[in-house]
Amino acid sequence: MGFFDLIKTSLASLNANRSRSVLTILGIVIGVAAIMLVMSLGAGAQNLILQQLQAIGSKTIAIIPGREPKGPTDFLSAFSDSLKESDLKQLKNPANVPHAARVIPMVFGSEVVSYKNDTYQTTIFGFTEHYAPLYDLYPREGQNFTADDVESSSSVIVIGSKVKEELFGNNEAVGEKLRIKDTTLRVVGVLPKKGGASFINFDNAILIPYTTAQNYIFGIKYFNRIIVETDEEINVPVTEIDIISTLRNAHNITDPDKDDFFLETQAGAMETVSAITSVMTLFVAAVAAISLLVGGVGIMNIMLVSVTERTREIGLRKAVGATDRDITTLGGALGIIISTLLGLIISVVLSKALNATWTYTFPVVAMIIGLFVAAGIGIIFGLYPARRAARLDPVEALRYE
Amino acid sequence: MLIELQDVKKTFDEGESATHALRGISLSINKGEFVAIMGASGSGKSTLLHILSFLSRPTSGRHFFDGKDVSNFSLMDLANLRNKSVGFVFQSFNLLARATVLENVELPMLYANIRPKERRQRALIVIERLGLGHRTKHLSNQLSGGEKQRVAIARALVNQPEVIFADEPTGNLDSSSGEQLMGVLEELHGEGKTIVLITHETYTAAFAERIIHIKDGLIEADTVVEERYSIKDHKFIK
């Protein structure tokens, strides 16, 4: 039997039992759709997180105070005040960390900021003026605070676009005075709208010199982070080693297990994030795969019913010369067509729908995989009924009532 | 000699008890013969037909077709023989109900790997010949019994087989349709086709040149008909 005749015959028999075919196809479609949805959502989520990580920049190393959490019972809070001004000096010393292009301390915390009678809950970041090149973030109105401002703990402030909108609306913000706790700060710049980057939403943040943040707002002598930007990406690993030895020296640490700081790099974080999201995606996809399995059993069930119903027809086909192989192929083709037919339509529809709501473009690869999976399910679960049909004795089959 | 059976036995094992459907049949049928096989139900005549038409294989004994020993043919080779060398006409027609007349007649050619264009041409010729030209596009379940059986004959003829096996072909037809059908078989016989007819009606068997009586799995009698009935001439002829 030729390929074209096979398709024609299969379609004709699907058409003969339309509602049954549609329901069977639906089972497979739900399964395939679920898997593809989960996979592409997972890929989308991963991409989103990776994008955030990329914003940190591949050349930067974050030094985080405390001990690297090894399990849920480890608390970051231990030694959280371990990074001090003296460490900053050590790290800035080219003799210690030769490839450090910039060393930027960072303090942060959540505070309420008020303007006249309006208040707004925001995150305060204390930086040096170098945050601007680090995050590629330059004020769209006014200007950045300066090295002098950092040196002298000036009461100057750069605000995020959302903060500006909330407190000032359409009015001019630069030059106005804001209050945080008991400190009055003068707005010198407004940041452009940026959205999230490296897990910091700068739209909703205010930036001030770190000295100001330490002295007037948080009243602390330590840093929440020190960010080291290396001169070249290739020097990240060697710089990591330099930082570790410098800080161990400064903190008199001999046992690496007793480190009161740990490092985070973009590469490391990406690896971790990829690993976690991949495992999650796989896990959820595996759950979705169960629905595919159920769909497959549905195909098998329906095909077994069809074989029984069409016993006489199979007998006749064999009587006029169909070989066992002809019958098996016909059954197999039915299974494949059942599972592929609407699988195709659904995956196209799905891809359109996903493109609309998710920033991530639906992968064509996932669609192709989906189709192959559907066809595979069709073959696997269609084969047994098809074989059973093929093995029918023509004499018995012709007599079947 | 077209068909030859040598001491063919067929036993059905169904659990404990074995049924001996054929207990040693030897016969030969020449090319162009019109043979009727008669017998009461349970005599083994259907089993004999199934073996003759390659639908099943004998338990023991030898079966020759056109000089070849087909007793040990594989299922695939038998399917091929059914496709090319024999045509079937069943009592219950066995047409594909949701297919058109044309599709039904084309079916054997589908398994002979004949190109769609040629398939259609050949099918149309036989359909026309059997007087069903106006029914080509009708679904087979819209036809009368007589028409259905003529479609079945068209289907049996379309691969130009050597032998037509007809298993109680008039069993589900009224007498005039039955008579018409026997006329078609007679005509085919006249053209040189070998016809093997199974029946329990003496009237139907009267069209054959030779009648084989089966009883309890053995040949009871094998007689040449002196005077057979001709539809064409409306009388018995010698």
* Residue A359: count of CB within 10 angstroms of its CB: 9
Cβ contact (<8 Å) for A395 and B111?
no
The kind and range of the H/E element at A146 are none
> Hey, are the CB atoms on B79 and A312 less than 8 Å from each other?
no
Closest residue in A to B99 (Cα) is A12
Residue B221 has pLDDT above 70, yes or no: yes
The answer to whether A204 touches A160, Cβ cutoff 8 Å, is yes
What confidence tens digit (pLDDT) does each residue in B126-185 have? Answer: 999 999 999 999 998 899 989 999 999 999 999 999 999 999 998 888 988 888 899 999
Q: How many other CB atoms are found less than 10 A from the CB of residue B20?
A: 16
Instruction: For residues A376 and A343, give the distance between their C-alpha atoms in angstroms, rounded to a whole number.
Output: 12
Q: Which of A109, A159, A101 lies closest to A130 in space, CA to CA?
A: A101
- B84 contacts on A by Cβ (under 8 Å): 321
The Cα B2–Cα A304 span in angstroms is 40
pTM above 0.80, yes or no: no
The two beta strands, A183-190 and A177-180, are: antiparallel
Mutation for testing the B interface, residue in A18, A313, A320, A391 having most B CBs under 10 Å? A320
The Cα A85–Cα A101 span in angstroms is 18
pLDDT recorded at residue A264 = 84
> With an 8 Å Cβ cutoff, are B107 and A320 in contact?
yes
| Chain A residues with CB-CB distance to B94 below 8 A | 312, 315-316, 319, 398
- Residue boundaries of the structural domains of chain B: 96-154
Is A296 in contact with A32 (CB distance < 8 Å)? no
| Residue-wise pLDDT tens digits, B45-80 | 989 999 999 999 999 999 999 999 998 899 999 999
- A394 contacts in chain B (CB < 8 Å): 55-56
Selecting from B76, B82, B111 the residue whose C-beta is nearest the C-beta of A1 gives: B111
Q: What is the structure's pLDDT at A383?
A: 83
- The encoded tokens of residue A303 equal 């095909």
Distance CA B58, CA A284 (A): 57
CA dihedral A125, A120, A154, A107 (to 10 degrees): -20
Q: Cα separations (Å) of A10 from A292, A325, A362? A: 22, 15, 31
SS (H, E, C) A83-143: CEHHHHHHHHCCCCCCCEEEEEEEEEEEEEEEECCEEEEEEEEEECCCHHHHHCCCCCEEC
Contacts of B210 (CB under 8 A, 6+ apart): B33, B34, B35, B36, B222, B223, B224, B225
Residues 350-379 of A with CB under 8 A from B: none
Contact status, residue A239 vs residue A99, Cβ threshold 8 Å: yes
Given the structure tokens 């029984």, which residue do they identify?
Answer: A308
* ipTM for the predicted complex: 0.89
What lies within 8 Å, CB to CB, of B218 at 6+ separation is: B23, B24, B25, B44
Predicted confidence pLDDT, tens digits, chain A (401 residues): 677 777 777 777 777 778 887 787 777 777 777 777 777 777 777 777 777 777 667 788 889 888 776 665 555 555 678 888 889 889 999 889 999 899 999 999 999 999 988 889 999 999 999 888 888 888 998 999 999 999 999 999 999 998 998 899 888 889 999 999 888 999 999 999 876 665 678 888 999 999 999 999 998 999 999 999 998 888 888 999 999 999 999 988 888 888 888 888 878 877 887 888 888 878 887 887 787 788 778 878 888 888 888 888 888 999 998 888 888 888 777 777 766 666 666 666 766 666 544 444 455 666 676 677 777 777 788 788 888 888 888 888 888 87
